[in-house]
Amino acid sequence: MAAYRDIVIAGGGMVGVSLALQLGELLSEKVSITLIEGFPFPESLSGAAPSYHPSFDARSTALSYSSRLIYEKIGVWSDLEQWLCPIERIHVSNRGRFGSTLMRSDDYDWPALGYVVENAWLGSALIQALYRQGRVEVVSPAKVLKAKPGESGVRLSMEGFSEPELDATLLLVADGANSGLRKELGVAVEEKSYRQHALIANIASAEKHDNCAFERFTDQGPIALLPLLPAPGGEARSALVWTLAPQRANELLTCPEQEFLQALQERFGYRLGRLRQVGERHAYPLSLVQSTEQARKGVVVMGNAAHALHPVAGQGYNLALRDVAALGHELAAAEEQGVSLGDLSVLQRYCDKQRADQDRTVGASDILPSLFMHPDPVLGLARDIGLSGLDILPALKRELVRYAAGVGEMEVVPHE
C-alpha cells in the first residue's frame, strides 16, 4: 500500500516554498503537506537568521506591493525587510520622443510601489521561514516522476522518496516554465516566442537612483533599471533587464565591459549619470508560455508552469504569488466546509476567481513591448500623448499605478 499525503507540492523554488508557507498558515494541522524538491535544500538554522552578504553579481526579483501584503499575512515580510530596496517612484519614457510619466507612491499614501530583493536572500529567507513554521514536510532531493488518477486522488511515482509510490488528494505542480511533470500529465501549453532575449546584469552608476525604477522603451526593445541596495563598497546599484534581438544580446553578452556600458548609456541616457560598472551578464530567450488548463481533479498547475510572462512589467512572480494566495483561501474554505481538497469544483472556483487577474496581467505584459516598439509615426504620437496625458488624467493614472503595484481589486490599507 502506497504512503499517503493530503497535499503534495512538486517544486521547491520560490513559488513552491511560498505556496507551502501559505497552506501551512491557512490549513489545519489535520491536513498533511509535503514539499518535494529535486535539489538539496539548505539545512535549518534552528531559529537563527541566515547570514547575508550582498553581491554585485546577485540576481534579483521585483516584488509588487501586492506581494508585500501576501508575505505580511504569512509572516515572512519581517525576514525580508532589511534587505529590500523600495521602489518609491517609477519613471516611464519613450526614447527619442517627448512622452513620459512619473508614478509616485506618495500620491497614494503607500510606503512603496514595490521592492527589489536579491534572489539568494529571498530564497533563503523563505526556506528558513518554512522550517520555522514547522508545518510542512520537506523531502529533498526527490522528484515526482509521474502522476495518474488514483482511488484517493492522484497516485505519484517517486524518486528519492522513502517509498516508490505516494497517494495524494491534491498535487500542486510548481516545477517551472519547462515543467516536466506538466508534460507528463499531458497538460498542453500555448507558447508565443517574442524572438527576443532578455539580458540581465547589475549596473553601478555615478548617481544614486533615489529608489526610482526606470522603464525606458526604445526601438530596439525596452530597458528596465530597478533600484538595488548599495554594493558592499557603497556603489549605487541598479538591476538591468534589457530586451534585445538575439544576435545583439549575444554580442553584448560577451563584448568588453566598456563597450557594453557605452551601448547601454546610448540607449538609456544619463538619468543615473555615467554608468560605471556592469556585473555578470546573463541572457535568455523570451516567450509567453501558458498552460491550456490549470486545474483538473486533484491537480493544479502553478507559477511559471501555469504562465511564464515577458519581464517588461516585472509581474510574473507577483502574479504567481496572487495565485498562491487565492488558491490558499479556496482550499481553506473547502476544508472548513468538509469538501475534498482535490474536488474539481473547488479547484475550478480558484481558476474562475483568478482568471480576470491572469488575463489582465498576461495581456498587458504581452502587448506593452510591441506597442512601444512599433515604428508607425502616428502610433508613436499617440503613445507620447498617452504617457504625457496620464498626469492630467488621475483616474487613469491610478489604475496604471495599481497595475504596477499588482493590487488590482485588493483592498489596500496604508501603512504608518
pLDDT of residue 157: 95
Mean pLDDT of 195-218: 92
pLDDT tens readout for residues 128-177: 999 999 999 999 999 999 999 877 789 999 999 999 999 999 999 999 99
Nearest to 312 by CA among 188, 169, 194: 194
pTM metric for this prediction: 0.87
Q: Name the packing angle between helices 316-337 and 344-373 (round to 10°).
A: 170
CB 294 within 8 A of CB 192: no
Residue 72: pLDDT above 80?
yes
Name the least confident of 77-86, 339-348, 353-362, 399-408: 399-408
| Phi/psi of residue 306, nearest 5 degrees | -90, -40
Grouping H, G, I as helix, E, B as strand and the rest as coil, residue 344 is helix
| Phi/psi of residue 12, nearest 5 degrees | -110, 35
Residue 16: pLDDT above 70?
yes
Grouping H, G, I as helix, E, B as strand and the rest as coil, residue 386 is helix
Fold of 3-64+118-191+291-370: FAD/NAD(P)-binding domain (3.50.50)
Mean pLDDT of 369-378: 48
Alpha-carbon gap, residue 188 to 182, rounded angstroms: 8
| pLDDT: which is higher, 49 or 134 | 134
CB 36 within 8 A of CB 139: yes
